[in-house]
Structure 1
């Protein structure tokens, strides 16, 4: 409910009850959910490409964004659960923080 995704969830999983596996997949890997990690990093990677074109150079943060997006695109939810949801999210948070710091460095956000 906090993400206003219940209706979207029902559309993505029409005959499924609310299950932890599906909810995690929906909020992490499903690009049709605008608040999912995959959807957000799709937007970030696209915007990063726009920055590269605008500035005429490709900064390291842009490659980090592309790598994170690719990792999310290639990942299957069963792999996330095998790895451990907490461990996956902790690693994602670390990658996201590295990206944010590198973006700060590359574009002098001071």
Structure 2
């Protein structure tokens, strides 16, 4: 199994009970929906729309948690909490540490589809 820096693919494999097919399918779903969710978050931050930041960071956080993106999930939680309290002065995806994390997660989720962690065949 390849070394991962941005995700822990065993989180998803455990969630699907070791079913490799389900692991691959949910990973592909993540790859198909995450870019739009990320874009909504980016747009909400640009607009300084606190309710939209809360909603979009929360939604993306649910997906990142499932694929084992622990650090990105934590960053999204921090962003969501900051938006709830109105304390996001000058924060954007890059300064929040989310942009590089998101890129890494996307790449590693893609790689994990080709070589999933051990599960049931």
TM-score (norm 2): 0.38
- Larger Rg belongs to: 1
Q: Which has the higher relative contact order, 1 or 2, with Cα contacts under 8 A spaced 6 or more apart?
A: 2
